Amino acid sequence: MCNIVIIVEKILQMASSRKVIELFYDVVSPYSWLGFEVMCRYRNVWNIDLKLRPAFLGGIMQGSGNKPPGLVPNKFLYMTTDLHRLAQYFQVPISPPADPFEAMFEKGSLSAMRFVAAVQEREVGGDKQVEQVSRELWMRIWSQDKDITQPASLSEAAMKAGLSACEVEELLKLSTSKEIKDKLKRSTQEALDHRAFGFPLAVCHVNGKAEVFFGSDRFELIAHCIGEPTLPLAS
Amino acid sequence: MCNIVIIVEKILQMASSRKVIELFYDVVSPYSWLGFEVMCRYRNVWNIDLKLRPAFLGGIMQGSGNKPPGLVPNKFLYMTTDLHRLAQYFQVPISPPADPFEAMFEKGSLSAMRFVAAVQEREVGGDKQVEQVSRELWMRIWSQDKDITQPASLSEAAMKAGLSACEVEELLKLSTSKEIKDKLKRSTQEALDHRAFGFPLAVCHVNGKAEVFFGSDRFELIAHCIGEPTLPLAS
């Protein structure tokens, strides 16, 4: 009996000492995918409460006055190589679409991110669905060169993520509601309030302070910041 | 006798299997300083031949059509925090100048990098002087908020790095010669040929191929690329 009390106390202590990390991302961004997968791995080994924060990168670029890095030709070429190497290293099956500019800037991710926001709005008891639907959308745009703008595309991704046809129908409807449009706007604004200029953005809440990390290459600093070790999580 | 032959053979084998890493940098860039210090630490533990390649970042930005990242306000604010955290983590005493825009863009680093190129031109049997003079110049601009454009400033940095007054006088003269101006231009052009759009740029020569890494946050990938382990080289 006494042992059980001690164990319960330990669990409660651990839960209360858990550091919260918010991860702002958009499925239009391949570096967000890398950040997302590595953080999802770390959530199993660090004593953290990872909060997935789907948001809209287009709003971040507009709100911060930033320009997409791929507009500088040498940078675009470098990023292609960099993504390929990182994808292999972290074992994330990134394969750029044939026309990245069309996929990222002409078609974009507004309907997709509203859909993910709707999934999050309806999900109870965790964020497994948000995680899986996000991953399936990344698989479409950044691995299989498939559309993520049409209802049929969102539906296909959600079904692959394990949602029922009935749930998907409701979510598609919800995703175009004012409630969800506003929810996505609020999340995007929150990221801008943290001075975002791109994604992924990890916001670590430590001792009442928010420490902000941009990109998918600051895991060592994040570990250092929250007092956890880095591990070889390449795959 | 036989043992000595074996040892000499081993040393020769090691030397011939050494992978060459070229590090292009400019002392105007604080991320170059981080990359430089970490690579100088790794040169002691990896089986590599590190070739320091002082070059001119202004020429890279112009040649690639890239814009300094600090022109986006949120990015500038983030970089200030990011640099502070990285400096603490890697134990490099970075402290931004009071007016970074004046130091980086108005005053710039052309005379400083020509001076480093002159040091390299005259140094024989290694690159200890290039390393130390570069470090002293970074100490001035990115730690002590001191000038790096005037002959007296370059002289002070070089003397701190251990060069004699006589050597410094000759190097100051050499640094304004056509020979050295052309040398710095060639190095900058070589970086552009590797599709540089910023510094630091590490070019790893592996199996007859040049693998290019931008920034001071790809050490794990570089290690993976050259088949060496990463180590906790934070300090």
Q: Which of B78, B195, B225 sits opposite A74 (nearest CB)?
A: B195
User: Is B29 annotated as catalytic?
Assistant: yes
Residues A45-94: tens digit of each pLDDT: 999 999 999 999 999 999 999 988 878 999 999 999 999 999 999 999 99
pLDDT-derived band at B235, boundaries 50, 70, 90: very low
> For residue B197, is pLDDT > 70?
yes
Is there a contact between A87 and A138 (Cβ–Cβ < 8 Å)? no
The share of chain A scoring above pLDDT 90, in percent, equals 86
> For residue A15, is pLDDT > 70?
no
| Catalytically active residues of A, by annotation | 29
**Is B65–A73 a contact, with Cβ atoms under 8 angstroms apart?**
yes
A190 CB neighbours in chain B (<8 A) are none
> For residue A99, is pLDDT > 50?
yes
- CB-based contact, B132 to chain A, within 8 Å: no
Q: Closest residue of A to B199, CA-based?
A: A75
Question: How confident is the model over B116-132, as a mean pLDDT?
Answer: 97
Mean pLDDT of the residues in chain A = 93
- CB-based contact, B128 to chain A, within 8 Å: no
The one-character DSSP state at B195 is T
> For residue A205, is pLDDT > 60?
yes
pLDDT-derived band at A235, boundaries 50, 70, 90: very low
Phi, psi of A77 (to 5 degrees): -60, -40
pLDDT-derived band at A16, boundaries 50, 70, 90: low
From CA A28, how far away is CA A229, in angstroms rounded? 30
Give the contacts of B27 (CB within 8 A, at least 6 positions apart): B33, B109, B112, B113, B116, B134, B137, B138, B141, B142, B148
CB atoms within 10 A of CB B124: 5
**Is A214–B86 a contact, with Cβ atoms under 8 angstroms apart?**
no
- CB-based contact, A225 to chain B, within 8 Å: yes
pLDDT-derived band at A168, boundaries 50, 70, 90: very high
Q: Which of A85, A86, A212 sits opposite B78 (nearest CB)?
A: A212
User: Of B220, B222, B225, B233, which to mutate for an interface test with A (greatest number of A Cβ within 10 Å)?
Assistant: B220
**ipTM score of the complex?**
0.88
Residues A119-142: tens digit of each pLDDT: 999 999 999 999 999 999 999 999
Q: Which of B110, B102, B112 has the alpha carbon at shortest distance from B171?
A: B112
pLDDT-derived band at A199, boundaries 50, 70, 90: very high
Whole-number pLDDT of residue B229: 86
Q: Which of A74, A81, A215 sits opposite B196 (nearest CB)?
A: A74
**Is A64–B81 a contact, with Cβ atoms under 8 angstroms apart?**
no
> For residue A171, is pLDDT > 90?
yes
From CA A143, how far away is CA A156, in angstroms rounded? 15
- CB-based contact, A66 to chain B, within 8 Å: yes
**Taking the model in full, what pTM does it have?**
0.91
Whole-number pLDDT of residue A59: 98
User: Which DSSP string do the residues of B91-154 spell out, in sequence order?
Assistant: T------SSHHIIIIII-SHHHHHHHHHHHHH--SSSHHHHHHHHHHHHHHHTS----SSHHHH
Least reliable range by pLDDT among A73-82, A182-191, B16-25, B134-143: B16-25
H-helix or E-strand spanning residue A210: strand A209-214
Chain centre to alpha carbon of residue B224:
21
pLDDT-derived band at B19, boundaries 50, 70, 90: very high
Mean pLDDT of the residues in chain B = 93
Whole-number pLDDT of residue A230: 83
Whole-number pLDDT of residue B2: 61
Identify the residue with better confidence: A26 or A11. A26
